[in-house]
Structure 1
Amino acid sequence: MHFVTGGAFNGKSAWVKAYYHMEAEAVGNWFSGYRGDALPEDLHSAAGVIVVLEGIEQWVKELLMEHDPKSAQDMWHAALEKWLQWERGQQGRVVCLIGSDITKGIVPASEEERELRDTAGRVFQDTAAVCERVDLIWYGIGQQLK
């Protein structure tokens, strides 16, 4: 698995497209929380070997609308395990996760926004821990962290 993070509108999606030599968002292989796509739990219907899941913080926000932070984090961890199993099912498969870092800056005033920020930070830590590669993108420039 590959985790790409960085600030909002800092070129993460463009960097991923260039890194994986994608002409455009591959139909059926690019899921975006920013477009309102549902978080895919099962990737067996995906065509090809590269699946991109973009907008981690959006999916965390959706999970928190129905679950407490611990349950949301547990659900994310279970999804990570399923995606890892899909990757291991065929040589060359890669799940690339993209998330905007919302953990920096001013602490949000509302409890809900603080809960989202904190849970997203924990989910990003869990994601980075299981991924083979982690890249930080700022201003379109990538820095490999892992």
Structure 2
Amino acid sequence: MHFILGGKNQGKLNWYLTRNHATIEDVADGETMALDVLPEQAVINHLHRWIFRMIQNNLDPVPLLEQYLQKYPDAVILCDEIGCGVVPLDPTEREWREVTGRICCKLAEKAERVDRIFCGLNMRLK
């Protein structure tokens, strides 16, 4: 698995698409993908948004994500870094940050490769 993270609008998806000669059709979007069915694409963008939607619907994202990684062991997952900055007052948003942070730590641990994208440039972390 390849895990790609970085701040919002830092060029993560464009960096991935350019280097892999992929198209947007090859990518599932966490903003719109189903909450109860695995996507057909081996690439997920906006993992943080999918996690937020799962939490809003009182669903645990971990089991479905584990199923996804079993189906696509060479998956590419892109996620915004959301743990930096002011801690939100809203309990749901705090939970979202904590859950997303824990998931990102697990993904980074399991990943064969981890890249952080900043201003469209990658820093290979692993």
| CA separation of 1:37 and 1:133: change in aligned 2, threshold 3 A | same
TM-score by length of structure 2 reads 0.86
How do 1:55-94 and structure 2 match up within 5 A? 55-67=46-58, 72=60, 75-76=61-62, 78-87=63-72, 94=74
What RMSD in Å do the two structures reach over aligned CA positions?
2.0
Q: Distance in 1 between matches of 2:83 and 2:95?
A: 11
Distance 1:40 1:137 in 2: 29
Q: Which one of the candidate residues 70, 76, 80 is aligned to 1:96? A: 76
Please tell me whether Structure 1 or Structure 2 has the larger radius of gyration of its CA atoms. Answer: 1
Deviation at 1:40, TM superposition (A): 7.3
Instruction: Say if 1:33 and 1:39, in contact at 8 Å, map to a contact too.
Output: no
* Matched-pair contact (CA < 8 Å) for 1:80–1:127: no
Give runs of aligned pairs for residues 27-46 of structure 1, distance below 5 A: 27=25, 29-34=26-31, 36-39=32-35, 41-42=37-38, 45-46=40-41
Between Structure 1 and Structure 2, how many residues are aligned?
A: 126
Change (3 A) 1:116 1:21: same
- What's the TM-score, normalizing by structure 1? 0.76
Q: 1:120 aligns with which of 84, 87, 100?
A: 100
Distance of 1:55 and 1:123 partners within structure 2 = 13
| Distance verdict in 2 for CA 1:111–1:83, change over 3 Å | closer
